[in-house]
Amino acid sequence: MPPLPAAGSPPASLAQLFGRGQVDVVDLTATLSEATPVLPLPPEMAAIPPFRLERLAHYDDPAEISLQHAIHTGEHVGTHFDAPRHWWSGRDGEDVAGVPVRRLVAPAVVLDAAEACRRDPDFLLEVEHVRSWQDRHGPLPDGGWLLFRTGWDARSHSQELFLNADREGPHTPGVSPECARWLAEETGIAGFGVETVGTDAGQAFRFDPPFPAHRYLLGTGKYGVTQLQNLALLPATGAVLVVAPLKIAGGSGSPARVLALVPTSAAFG
């Protein structure tokens, strides 16, 4: 590895840090396939179509020299991005194509509640949990992302385990209505990321108001990103999140590739 600059030298560029192997790239994206879990919505809401590939061409077909598929999916399937326009409260906000790219690359912090969620699948993040985290790690990043680690990515291989549903509906962690409102109105974060199927808790259809993460966060021009993987590999602070949804005109959301850039200890000398 090339030596680090001497004291007093200009800071290394991002390209230099990558060239020295001093930045790890962590893939936070779930593989998208026909087995990807999809949230079953209440009967009064439109169903989300699952992901499906339609074969168009294959090398073994007569006269074909390529492999091609058509993609059939809902915007909100797999690891995906929620634009403000996704919810009625953000109807006048940005569609996916209108989101400034600068807001898709931003600092990220991780609040780890995996142990609490293991004990209680209906665990709700409250304002006091976030404030306690800030007492230890500092303020939430203005213009950045709060990523909520629940350990739920370990269930993503199975629709049944991931949704964890019974006759009362899904039982998955999320945020309380008060915390969702507080994050939306009292903090400067750009977005909220989760490992679960959506940014709201499984029982959020029963809350007052229902689906508060969607209502408050998207209603104030913030974003959501869901079904993340590998948050356990990120530090509590110091990562940069790269969220890359498709640039869909009029889109309310999109499957996305989500990456985290994490400086290694060598980057600090």
For the chain, report the end-to-end CA distance as a whole number of angstroms.
12
Q: How far is CA 63 from CA 53, 54, 57, 69, 70, in A?
A: 21, 19, 10, 16, 19
Instruction: Retrieve residue 118's tokens.
Output: 């293991």
Please list, in sequence order, all residues whose beta carbon lies within 8 angstroms of the beta carbon of residue 254, skipping any fewer than 6 positions away.
75, 80, 81, 96, 245, 246, 248
Q: Say which amino acid occupies 227.
A: Q
Catalytic residue among 76, 80, 86, 129: 86
129 flagged as catalytic: no
Rounded CA separation 15/17 (Å): 5
**Residues 42, 206: Cα–Cα separation, whole Å:** 11
DSSP string over 207-235: SSSSSHIIIIIIHTT-EEEESB--GGGS-
Phi/psi of residue 130, each to 5°?
Answer: -70, -40
Cα–Cα separations (whole angstroms), residue 70 to 84, 97, 136, 263: 27, 21, 48, 38
Please identify every residue annotated as catalytic: 86
